Amino acid sequence: MESHEKELELVQKVEHHQLDLVGLTSMHSVDTGTKLLDTVWTQLFSGVALGLRRWAGVGILPSPWLHAASLQFTPVDKRVASLCLRSIGGGLLLLSLPMH
């Protein structure tokens, strides 16, 4: 199965189960950034530097409404990332997601 097909299958499962946030492990990706999976779902990811073996990396798949409240995605290391969110009351919420 192609990578894009797997990503779309993941989005379908997340929508089916009505999840707002999914932590992804072993992303095997290079660099750090965002990837639009379809018209509304965006994956935030952190991988390894170019030229290194791709065996680690983490990602976060927030629901579209949660992504709209995202202020900052910070990769801490190859197994931990944090997501800073704006709360409805105007405060901040910081999620730190260790991925083992």
Q: Is residue 97's pLDDT more than 80?
A: no
Say what the pTM is.
0.78
- State the pLDDT confidence band at 1, using cuts at 50, 70 and 90: low
Q: Count structural domains, the chain.
A: 1
User: Which residues are registered as beta bridge partners of 31?
Assistant: none
pLDDT tens string 38-53: 889 998 888 766 666 6
- Which residue from 2, 58, 48, 53 is spatially nearest to 27, judged by alpha carbons? 58
Count Cα atoms within 13 angstroms, Cβ side, for 60.
26
Residue span of the structural domain in which 48 resides: 3-98
